[in-house]
């Protein structure tokens, strides 16, 4: 019998808005506590995490992110992405256009706006990294839009920013990096 990833001992998936090869929102709730802060984490693009035939699965990035969230005592964690196109190998995204990377634009943007602006959200943690593999003009277009809808007073990043002044990607949250105001 396969072992349960440590992150799924801490959190259970409570909502998975996935359609075909796109994941627009993935929400987790603590298995250990009934209260605590609710956070949104915006990553680059989803890999394999979600619910498949009733079975919860996490990938290595979300495993690391959820373990970090557990150490911060967060109760609810909502995962969004700049680009909801699901692919575990970002280098393969170089040939895809913005329409393919986003999928249903209205659904994608509505999920981001509604989730980030929900009054129950305590923090929005940006964590998309340098978006290696995605054409820079598409990254700039998307991040400009994201910054235009965020309440900067709620925005944080984990650890140091990258050399290109981007928020560190969740897969790089090694050890116990500090949470910083943007």
pLDDT band at residue 114 under the 50/70/90 scheme: very high
Which residues neighbour 85 within 8 Å (Cβ) at sequence distance 6 or greater? 21, 22, 45, 46, 93, 96, 100, 101, 102, 103
State the pLDDT at residue 139: 93
Please tell me the distance from the alpha carbon of residue 54 to that of residue 26, in angstroms, as a whole number: 14
Q: Mean pLDDT across the stretch 108-134?
A: 95
Half-sphere exposure of 145 toward its Cβ, with a 13 Å CA cutoff? 16
pLDDT band at residue 54 under the 50/70/90 scheme: confident
User: What is the pLDDT of the chain when averaged over all its residues?
Assistant: 92
State the pLDDT at residue 84: 96
pLDDT band at residue 1 under the 50/70/90 scheme: very low
Q: Where are the beta strands (DSSP E) in the chain?
A: 11-19, 22-30, 38-43, 50-52, 55-57, 76-81, 123-126, 155-158, 179-181
Secondary structure letter of residue 113 according to DSSP: H
For the cut 70, the answer to whether the pLDDT of residue 2 exceeds it is no
State the pLDDT at residue 3: 65
**What is the reported pTM?**
0.94
Q: Mean pLDDT across the stretch 73-94?
A: 91
For the cut 60, the answer to whether the pLDDT of residue 142 exceeds it is yes
State the pLDDT at residue 182: 95
Q: Mean pLDDT across the stretch 100-117?
A: 96
Return the bridge partners of 43, or none: 81
């Amino acid at each position: 019998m396969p072992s349960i990833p440590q992150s799924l001992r801490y959190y259970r998936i409570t909502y998975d808005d996935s359609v075909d090869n796109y994941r627009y929102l993935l929400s987790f709730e603590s298995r250990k506590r009934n209260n605590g802060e609710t956070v949104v984490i915006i990553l680059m693009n989803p890999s394999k995490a979600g619910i498949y035939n009733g079975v919860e699965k996490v990938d290595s990035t979300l495993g690391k992110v959820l373990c970090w969230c557990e150490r911060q005592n967060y109760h609810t964690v909502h995962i969004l992405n700049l680009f909801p196109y699901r692919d575990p190998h970002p280098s393969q995204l170089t040939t895809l256009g913005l329409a393919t990377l986003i999928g249903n634009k209205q659904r994608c943007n509505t999920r981001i706006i509604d989730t980030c602006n929900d009054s129950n959200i305590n923090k929005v943690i940006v964590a998309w990294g340098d978006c290696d593999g995605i054409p820079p003009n598409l990254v700039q277009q998307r991040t400009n839009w994201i910054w235009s809808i965020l309440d900067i007073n709620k925005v944080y990043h984990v650890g140091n920013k990258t050399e290109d002044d981007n928020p560190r990607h969740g897969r790089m949250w090694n050890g116990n990096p500090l949470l910083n105001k943007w």
